[in-house]
Every structure is written in structure tokens, then in C-alpha cells.
Amino acid sequence: MDIDLSGRRALVSGSSQGIGLAIATELARAGASVTVNGRDDAKTEAACTTVTDEVPDARVSPVAADLASAAGAERLREAVGELDILVNNLGIFGAKPVLDIEDDEWRRYFEVNVLSAVRLIRMYLPGMMARGFGRVMNIASDSAVVTPVEMVHYGTTKTALLAVTRGFAKAAAGTGVTVNSVMAGPTHTPGVEDFVRDLVGADLPWDEAQRRFMREHRPYSLIQRLIEPTEIGNMVVYLSSERASATTGGAVRVDGGYIDSILP
């Protein structure tokens, strides 16, 4: 399928590394003008260089702003004009026994994983609706429906994103704007490598550590491996296109078959 996003303006939050960087790269490859976002100026600019190394004719620009705060979101709004494509990828995760998670940590997870998305949707959805085109994607997780015992706070915020998605999709009904969640499964990123090693042992060779992690902690994966970030990016590119015009309010799975259900 040949997807051309030329002329479209995209923002990917939390895209200085990992899944977000892969999404930004694939959007740029499809022709979109992409804003890369992170908290650190140097890392965000380095991410833009990574994109242009992969896609030499990419139109990509950096905006460093902490979107977990209203002030950071306003800073981004001042730097970025109207958008056609908004990808809310920013998120944090970590393993912790649920009885040890205190109020402040719960609040932090909701600020970063949920409210950052809500703020940006409120900023950019009205303009999309007025123009009759827009694509909003919230990067959720298999953890939204299969709550991991080692990080209940993370799973809970991803469950909330599914409701946020459905609600804003209803608000945009009939306008030509679609709002979807992308439910990513266990994905191979540097942060996940650290997470895997924390769970199964730091001294194991990576291939063995990955197999043990999937076997012991994600046994229902049908591909029996970690997903590569580009595979998430491919789904985002499709949902960003005219070809996905009838897909909205949904939770689209790129989970390697991990969720043991015929519905999300």
C-alpha cells in the first residue's frame, strides 16, 4: 500500500527515542512534516538528526518541552502551528509492587501518560474539526486490558487512554477527524531492555533474556518475540492516511497477538 502524507503536519510527543522516534521516522518517510518532541534540547535535536539520517529528504523539526505540565504544553503550542496528525506517544513505565505505589507516583503517571494527551487533544482537535480533516492517535498498550501485576499504575493509565480516545472520537463525530488508540504490545526499546533485565537478570545474553522474559512474563504473545518499534510506526502511518477514514474511536492492536481476546 503506497501511502503519501505529503502536505500533512504531524507532531509525535515523547519522540526523542524508542517507539516515538520510530513513529516520527515512518511519518517522515511517508512525506509528512514532523515535529519531534522531548524534554531535552540536545536529545530532541539528535533525534531529528537520526530521522534525517534514515530519511534524507525528511522535513523534521525539534521542540523541547515537558508535556507533563500545562506550561510545557503551552510552550509547544507557541512553537508548533496547526496540525493534521497528532500522535500522543509520551509515557513512562516501571515495575513496582502495587501496595508500594504512593499517591504522588499515581499522580505523576496520570500527568505524563494521560493528561499530556488530553491537553494536546484539546489544543489541536478544534482546528482539525474546523478544517474537516485530522488524525489523533493515542499510543496505548496491551497493558490497558491485561493489567500487569508488576506495574498496575502503568496499566491503569493506559486503560484510561482507551476511554479518552473513545470520548474525543465522539466529540469529533461527523467532522472528518478520526481518533484512535494504538495498542502496542511488548516492544524492543532501550527502556524495555532495562526493564527486561531488571526482571530476568542483568547478566544474561540479550537473546536469552528476551526469550526468558517472553516465556515468564508475556507468555501469551503469539509472535513470541518483542515487537520492533518500526512495526508500531507502520500502523500509525496507515491510521494517519486517507485510507483509514472509516476507522475511529477504536483500539487498534499491534500487540503480537498478546491480548488473548477476539476484541480489545
Q: pLDDT tens-digit profile of 131-187? A: 999 999 999 999 999 999 999 999 999 999 999 999 999 999 999 999 999 999 999
pLDDT at 119: 98
Cα 3 to Cα 237: distance, rounded to the nearest angstrom: 8
238 tagged catalytic: no
pLDDT at 238: 98
Mean pLDDT of 20-30: 98
Indicate whether this model's pTM tops 0.85.
yes
pLDDT at 195: 85
Provide the pairing of β-strand 9-12 with 33-38.
parallel
* 153 grid coordinates: 499504575
Mean pLDDT score of the chain, rounded to an integer?
A: 96
Q: Which of 144, 163, 142, 166 is nearest to 155 (CA)?
A: 144
Share of the chain above pLDDT 70, in %: 100
Mean pLDDT of 24-36: 98
* Lookup result for grid cell 527515542: 17
**Least confident piece of the model among 21-35, 43-57, 198-212:** 198-212
pLDDT at 262: 87
CATH of domain 9-187+228-254: 3.40.50.720
From the CB of residue 1, how many other CB atoms can be counted at a distance below 10 Å? 7
Cα 89 to Cα 16: distance, rounded to the nearest angstrom: 11
Q: Would you say 134 and 178 are in contact if contact means Cβ atoms under 8 Å apart? A: yes
Q: Tell me how far CA of residue 39 lies from CA of 16, 121, 127, in angstroms.
A: 9, 19, 25
Q: Would you say 58 and 28 are in contact if contact means Cβ atoms under 8 Å apart? A: yes
pLDDT at 245: 98
Residue 263 — very low, low, confident or very high, per pLDDT cuts 50/70/90?
A: confident
For the chain, which residues make up each domain, given as ranges? Answer: 9-187+228-254, 189-226
Share of the chain above pLDDT 90, in %: 92
Cα 21 to Cα 234: distance, rounded to the nearest angstrom: 12
From the CB of residue 146, how many other CB atoms can be counted at a distance below 10 Å? 16
Annotated catalytic residue within 109, 124, 154, 258: 154
Whether residue 218 is predicted with pLDDT greater than 90 in this model: the reply is no
Whether residue 1 is predicted with pLDDT greater than 80 in this model: the reply is no
Cα 24 to Cα 172: distance, rounded to the nearest angstrom: 24
Whether residue 31 is predicted with pLDDT greater than 80 in this model: the reply is yes
Cα 139 to Cα 113: distance, rounded to the nearest angstrom: 9
**Least confident piece of the model among 32-46, 76-90, 211-225:** 211-225
Cα 242 to Cα 135: distance, rounded to the nearest angstrom: 9
* 214 grid coordinates: 517472553
pLDDT at 49: 98
* 44 grid coordinates: 530532541
pLDDT at 191: 82
pLDDT at 147: 95
